[in-house]
Structure 1
Amino acid sequence: MNTKRVLIIGGPGTGKSTLITALEAKGYTCFHEISREVTAAAQKKGIEQLFLTQPLLFSELLLKGRIQQFKDATSLDKKYAFYDRGIPDVAAYMDYTGDEYPDMFRDACKEYTYDIAFMLAPWKEIYAQDNERYESFEQAEIIQKYLIAAYENYGYNLIDVPFGSVSERVTFILNTLKNHK
């Protein structure tokens, strides 16, 4: 079976992880966001915000992890694999910070492509900052623009997920997938 790789993307605090958890509860294979793991590991080493202090290292770790997640779906015997963020997110965040990055980032975005991408917009009512999410809501809105630009640059047609309950959003995604060729 050729597993379709389905992205759930959007700026910080848009509800991606909540949707991934809900899809996983329904029995779908889901790959969780890894930036929190990378951030937490750095914090254990005394680096409060690796993304801010060493953005290239942080991004290289994310890229490596996301490529591995992409490869992990190759052996699945499932119709869909859902991802909380994708490989182009790494380039989008580097563009947001204005940091230079090697061509391997762009090459990975071209080599590892997903089948469909759902975009969640910034939603002030659900946005919350925490130990790993340091961005303000206004910064999240700016990051969203960089995400859209990066994904469109790599040829993705983004499908906007409407605001609504978790159940409504999951239903929208699953219904859209049923009609997607």
Structure 2
Amino acid sequence: MNRFVVISGCSGGGKSTLLAEFGRRGHAVVEEPGRRIVKEELESGGRALPWVDGPAFARRAIAVALADRTVAECRPGWVFFDRSLVDAASALQHMTGEPALETLARPHPYHQRVFLAPPWPEIYGTDPERRHGLDAAITEYERLLQDYPVLGYEVVILPKVSVAERADFVLGTL
């Protein structure tokens, strides 16, 4: 059984907050590649930003996700990932038509159950790293809802409950 658990889904759906709760509870967590990349690119004046060069951003997210998996190998117990290689491969495939899900994501599996945060308009917000609107976030969510099962994952939708209740739900489901 794979101990790498993906928390993915709609932007602004509470994923990062949930990961922080897992960290508080002593579990290993891996921050979202996209946010780290955006911060670095903004600081360095780079162009691998989703709103400037989407394919370059997705390729960079793939590289970061692969590196994150390597680092996570040495962590004991459950390791919770804020998004995954599948998210980045899905984005690249959507933008370019490259078969990234099969060639890049399938050979690097995560736990069979993937938890998706559904759209949650009441908590959605933008910030310097998340500039897209809720409509774009919902479109991405719907794409991931289709792409994860294509790779054989069981999608579990996170309930819209408190952070502690969400964490309990995930741990109970695992």
TM-score, L = length of structure 1: 0.88
Is the 1:43–1:49 contact (alpha carbons within 8 Å) kept by the matching residues of 2? no
- How do 1:74-85 residues align onto structure 2 when only pairs under 5 Å count? 74-76=73-75, 78-85=76-83
Equivalent residues, number: 173
User: For residues 28-177 of structure 1, what are the structure 2 equivalents within 5 Å?
Assistant: 28-47=27-46, 50-76=49-75, 78-95=76-93, 98-100=94-96, 102-103=98-99, 106-115=102-111, 116-177=113-174
Identity of aligned residues (%): 26
* Rounded Cα–Cα distance in structure 2 between residues aligned with 1:162 and 1:104: 30
Deviation at 1:104, TM superposition (A): 5.3
Amino acid at match of 2:80: F
What CA distance in whole angstroms lies between the structure 2 residues aligned with 1:81 and 1:101? 31
Compared with structure 1, are the counterparts of its residues 163 and 55 closer, same or farther at alpha carbon in structure 2 (3 Å cutoff)? same
CA distance in structure 2 between the partners assigned to 1:107 and 1:92 by the alignment: 11
CA contact (8 A) 1:31 1:69 kept: yes
Aligned-residue CA RMSD (Å): 1.9
Match of 1:6 in 2: 5
The 1:51/1:132 distance shift into structure 2, 3 A limit, reads same
For 1:143, the aligned partner's letter is E
TM-score, reference length from structure 2: 0.91
Q: Is the 8 A contact 1:10 1:144 kept in 2?
A: yes
Unpaired runs of 5+ residues, structure 2, are: none
Specify every segment of 5 or more residues in structure 1 that has no aligned partner in the other structure, as ranges.
Answer: none
Mean CA deviation greater in 10-19 or 102-111: 102-111
- 1:25 and 2:21 aligned: no
